[in-house]
Amino acid sequence: MSALNYVLPLKAPTPLPASGVDTVTFKVWKNTLIAHIQQDTNHHHFMPGGVYEQWRAADYGARIERLHNADSDRQTIDGKLERLGQAGHAAELARLLALRNAQLSKYITHIATLCHHTENDDVTNSSTSLNWIFDYLKKHYGLETKGANFMNIADHCFKAGTPYQTYYKQYRASFIDNLRKRGDVVKYRNDFVLTEDEKLSPSFENAIILWSLEKIDPRLPAKVKKSYGHQMHGDITLKDIQPVVFDNISLMLEELDQIQTVKSFSAEILEENPLINAVNVKNRQRSNFRGSISRGRGNARPGFNNRGAINTRSSLSSSKFCRICNLAGSGPQIYLSHEIGECGRLSQRDLDSIKNALVLNGLVNVTDDALPDTSYSSQPGWDDHEEDQSLNDHNQD
């Protein structure tokens, strides 16, 4: 067989199940069905736009009652009227009408076999067009796009394991299927009749992406704003960077989970070790006191001392500080995000060792929450000489 004569037949779609068909599944089935039945050239008469796109239900007898004037085969027979004579002409028309009804029956039966068997009878006997069949099936599966069915969009929840891009496209498709059509009446606008099909606006597109992120994980909108907000400027919108955002959702969720794990672990440490919690409280109180002294001297700018250097104590008055992460070489975004008692680097053994050392050296009693001020003088970035000078200046004032 030559390459020019070779035709790749399109397989029929899988028959619809009894229930559980969503909008996207139905749309795929519908498109596959149309492509499949169009392979038979006789079927084009009964497709939307064909001369026999409308027919009668089986209860009324012959589904095609008379031949259409635009039927090309009828026009051919009419051109042979003189040669055939009246009787021959009528016989040819009757034969063609019977052929069209037979072709239509095959067409309908082919479609009915690809529906669930519970719908086969209605499709076979009651259908009057292909669009009638599609509307009937949408109604059966609850996929109608008018009235209360719009609220079904709220049931389109994200299921674990679903690819993020796939979920977004499915969620977006549920809105597209509910757009109003030309000729629909908009009641709240004084019965305004739409002159064209409704389309998604740019703002609506962005809103759908935002709602998709919320449905995947409520934490994502804030995370996307923090990670990608700098890219959305001028004419660049969330829709423009949507592919990149959804490709990195897994990474963003992993980072959010890690932060949540650290917070939960830190809370457990503080609950089990009140001594560390007391250290953090006193640390913040002492930092606030020192910061107020520094801000009261001379005309130094907030956050800087009189020599123009960064005033670490002033920064600590409004920030947390972890000495362990600082010495480990972590960046400010890490060691200023938590206290030492919240640090995930400390093991239970470390915490017990700190507590025992304080007790053995007489710096704190086992039942006493008071801690000595010397526990704060070793914070990195503090200048002890400058601290003493600041206190002397304060006393002189």
**Do 128 and 214 fall within a single domain?**
no
**Do 76 and 169 fall within a single domain?**
no
The closest of 320, 251, 223 to 281, measured between CA atoms, is: 320
184 is written with which tokens? 């629909």
**Do 85 and 128 fall within a single domain?**
yes
5 inside domain? no
Q: What are phi and psi of 120, to 5 degrees?
A: -60, -45
Cβ proximity of 18 and 73 under 8 Å: no
Q: Which residues contact 105 (CB under 8 A, 6 or more apart)?
A: 63
**Do 303 and 372 fall within a single domain?**
yes
**Do 338 and 240 fall within a single domain?**
no
SS (H, E, C) 299-362: CCCCCECCCCCECHHHHHCCCCCCHHHHHCCCCHHHHCCCCHHHCCCCCHHHHHHHHHHHHHCC
267 inside domain? no
Residues comprising the chain, all counted: 397
Q: Which residues contact 383 (CB under 8 A, 6 or more apart)?
A: none
Domain end position, chosen among 87, 111, 144: 144
Cβ proximity of 52 and 46 under 8 Å: yes
For residue 280, what pLDDT is reported? 59
Element (H, E) at 192: strand 192-193
Residues 128, 133, 137, 142, CA torsion sign: negative
For residue 164, what pLDDT is reported? 95
The closest of 364, 276, 284 to 318, measured between CA atoms, is: 284
**Do 278 and 379 fall within a single domain?**
yes
Largest CA distance in the chain: 130
**Do 155 and 85 fall within a single domain?**
no
For residue 306, what pLDDT is reported? 46
**Do 140 and 28 fall within a single domain?**
yes
**Do 198 and 170 fall within a single domain?**
yes
pTM of the model: 0.51
77 inside domain? yes
16 inside domain? no
265 inside domain? no
Residue type, position 49, single letter: G
Question: 177: domain range?
Answer: 148-247
Cα distance between residue 316 and residue 312, in whole Å:
6
Cβ proximity of 185 and 191 under 8 Å: yes
Cβ proximity of 241 and 232 under 8 Å: yes
For residue 34, what pLDDT is reported? 94
377 inside domain? yes
Cα distance between residue 153 and residue 145, in whole Å:
10
**Do 47 and 88 fall within a single domain?**
yes
For residue 332, what pLDDT is reported? 78
Q: What are the pLDDT tens digits along the chain (397 aa)?
A: 444 455 567 889 999 999 988 877 888 899 999 999 999 999 999 999 999 999 999 988 899 999 999 999 999 999 998 898 999 999 999 999 999 999 999 999 999 999 999 999 999 999 999 999 999 998 898 877 666 677 878 888 999 999 999 999 989 988 888 888 888 899 889 999 999 989 999 999 999 999 999 999 999 999 999 999 999 999 999 999 999 999 999 999 999 998 888 877 766 665 655 555 555 555 565 555 555 544 444 444 444 444 444 444 444 444 578 878 877 778 777 878 888 777 877 777 777 777 776 666 665 555 544 443 434 333 344 444 444 444 444 444 4
Q: How many domains does the chain have?
A: 3
9 inside domain? no
**Do 183 and 86 fall within a single domain?**
no
Q: Which residue in this structure is represented by tokens 């020019």?
A: 4
Cα distance between residue 321 and residue 326, in whole Å:
8
Instruction: Report the DSSP beta bridge partners of residue 193.
Output: 185
Domain end position, chosen among 108, 125, 144: 144
261 inside domain? no
Cα distance between residue 362 and residue 105, in whole Å:
99
For residue 35, what pLDDT is reported? 93
138 is written with which tokens? 């949408």
Cβ proximity of 30 and 23 under 8 Å: no
Cα distance between residue 123 and residue 33, in whole Å:
15
Domain end position, chosen among 144, 167, 192: 144
**Do 306 and 389 fall within a single domain?**
yes
